[in-house]
Amino acid sequence: MNNVQLTLVGLLKKCGPAQSPLSVESGRTVMEVITDLGLDPDLVAIVMVNGRQEFKSYRLQEGDNVKLVPMVGGG
């Protein structure tokens, strides 16, 4: 079921599918979704789930709201 909302931020919008936000399946890890979307994991710096930072190993749950944030310029 595609019941997780996923938003791509900044330059990730150009790297992923044209539509953002999009719906993805729960039950998969964030890393698996990143790979499915054809994104370079290196480019996805910060993963926010429901407003909190998570690791890419986080397994998505029904109703989760995910934001993938790139690291443009570091510190």
Partner 1 sequence: MLSGYGGQVLRVNLTDRTIEKTELDPELAKDYLGGRGFAAKILYSEVEKGADPLGGGNKLIVAAGPLSGLLIPGAGKTTFAAKSPATGGYADSNMGGLLCAEMKYAGYDLIIFEGISSEPAYLFIDDDTAELRDAKPYWGQGCITVETALKKELGEDFQIATVGPGGENLVKFACISHDFGRQAGRAGVGAVMGSKKLKAIAVHGTKDIPVADMEEFRRIGREMYDYCRASDGWEVWYRLGTAGVNVPSNEWGSFPTRNFQSGYFEEIETLTGEVMRETIVITDKACFACPCACGKYSYSKKWDIHVEGPEYETTAFLGANVAVSDIEDVAYANHLCDELGIDTISAGNVIAFAMECFERGIITGEDTRGLGLSFGDSEAVFELIEKIARREGIGDVLAEGVKHAAEVFGGDSADFAMHIKGLEISGYESRNAPAMMLAYMTADVGGHHNRAWAITYDIEVGRDAITEYKAAQVIELQHVRPLMDCLGACRLQWVELGMPLDYYAPAMKAITGLDRSWEDLLHISERVWNLTRAFWAREVEGFGREWDYPPPRWYTEPVPTGPTKGKFVAREDVEKLLDMYYNQRGWDTNGIPSREKLEELGLDFVAT
* Contacting positions for partner 1 (CB under 8 A): 7, 9-10, 40-43, 45-46, 48, 51-56, 67, 69, 71-75
CB 25 within 8 A of CB 2: yes
Nearer to partner 1, 38 or 75 (CB): 75
- The H helix count followed by the E strand count for the chain is 2, 5
Sequence-distant (≥ 6) Cβ neighbours of residue 71 within 8 angstroms: 43, 45, 46
For the bound state, the minimum distance from the C-beta of residue 37 to partner 1, rounded and expressed in Å, comes to 17
Nearer to partner 1, 4 or 70 (CB): 70
For the bound state, the minimum distance from the C-beta of residue 1 to partner 1, rounded and expressed in Å, comes to 26
Nearer to partner 1, 1 or 60 (CB): 60
Beta strands 44-49 and 22-24: pairing type? unpaired
